[in-house]
């Protein structure tokens, strides 16, 4: 995916730390020298344990609540870890602290930019985050969630940022279920602070703006989207505008 070895190793270190206290965190298997990335025929390779399971169904309230509780435990497990600076900024970080990201000029929103800068000034807590916590990066079995996968988007940030993004994904783009996700997370003792209606909406809008940028990045790379993909993209852009406070 174009990531450097150093970037992958950094993300793997986040996964390995989480796996030390969280059984569901799936971390790469290290080589004898401790490296988690090895070069084979000029390509970076990592080896990961196999975990049997299937994607959880966020439409099922019990599975949505389980996803929220697991995120709370994941944040607790990472709260004290202090990795060195990320070798390359994560994709989600562009525009996160205020300022229009240059890859999403069409979604210019100075009020959102100001709000993000002010929010982070008021919320100084930072710790490692998974970076892409949605149902497709987890596995369920026998009614419970048994694995958290794919740490390539990990970064250090405010836990509220990840909570809002995950609430959108696990709430299936509906704010009612998203709020239920947030409530279950807080009941489980996650590190993120409370999110009022405006904070939830604005942090979700940051995520949607990054999704917009990723869609167009894929187009520039030659990805051809089908009709369902295009409809999904249009719906997410519409949601970005609809959630404007």
Measuring CA to CA, how many Å separate 163 from each of 41, 178, 184, 201? 39, 10, 11, 12
Indicate if the alpha-carbon torsion angle 94, 95, 97, 99 is positive or negative: positive
Mean pLDDT throughout 202-214?
A: 97
Q: What is the pLDDT of residues 92-137, one digit of tens each?
A: 999 999 999 999 999 999 999 999 999 999 999 999 999 999 999 9
| CB-count burial class (<10 Å; 0-12, 13-18, 19+) for 2 | exposed
- Type and span of the H or E element at 178: helix 175-187
Determine the Cα–Cα distance for residues 66 and 185; give it in Å rounded to an integer: 9
Site of tokens 């970037």 = 7
SS3 of 180-224: the string is HHHHHHHHCCCCCCCCCHHHHHHHHHHHHHHHHHHHHHHHHCCCC
Q: Which domains does the chain have, with CATH numbers?
A: 55-243 (3.90.1200.10)
| CB-count burial class (<10 Å; 0-12, 13-18, 19+) for 35 | middle
* Token pair in block for residue 200: 């939830």
Angle made by CA atoms 69, 48, 128, in degrees to the nearest 5: 45
Binned at pLDDT 50, 70 and 90, residue 42 comes out as confident
Residues in contact with 69: Cβ distance below 8 Å, sequence separation at least 6, in sequence order: 184, 185, 187, 188
Q: What is the pLDDT of residues 153-191, one digit of tens each?
A: 999 999 999 999 999 999 976 788 999 999 999 999 999
pTM score of the predicted model:
0.95
């Amino acid at each position: 995916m174009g990531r450097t070895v150093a970037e992958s190793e950094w993300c793997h270190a986040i996964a390995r730390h989480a796996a030390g206290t969280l059984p569901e965190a799936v971390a790469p298997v290290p080589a004898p020298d401790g490296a988690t990335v090895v070069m084979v025929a000029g390509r970076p390779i990592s080896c990961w344990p196999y975990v049997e399971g299937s994607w959880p169904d966020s439409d099922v309230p019990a599975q949505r609540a389980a996803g929220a509780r697991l995120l709370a435990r994941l944040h607790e497990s990472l709260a004290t870890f202090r990795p060195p600076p990320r070798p390359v900024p994560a994709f989600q970080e562009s525009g996160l602290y205020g300022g229009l990201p240059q890859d999403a000029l069409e979604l210019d929103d100075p009020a959102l930019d100001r709000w993000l800068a002010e929010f982070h000034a008021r919320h100084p807590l930072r710790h490692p985050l998974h970076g892409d916590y949605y149902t497709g990066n987890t596995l369920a079995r026998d009614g419970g969630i048994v694995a958290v996968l794919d740490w390539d988007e990990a970064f250090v940030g405010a836990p509220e940022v990840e909570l809002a993004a995950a609430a959108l994904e696990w709430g299936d783009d509906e704010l009612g279920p998203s709020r239920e996700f947030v409530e279950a997370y807080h009941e489980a003792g996650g590190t993120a602070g409370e999110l009022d209606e405006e904070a939830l909406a604005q942090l979700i809008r940051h995520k949607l703006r990054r999704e917009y940028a990723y869609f167009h990045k894929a187009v520039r790379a030659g990805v051809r989207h089908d009709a369902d993909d295009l409809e999904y993209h249009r719906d997410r852009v519409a949601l970005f505008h609809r959630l404007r406070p």
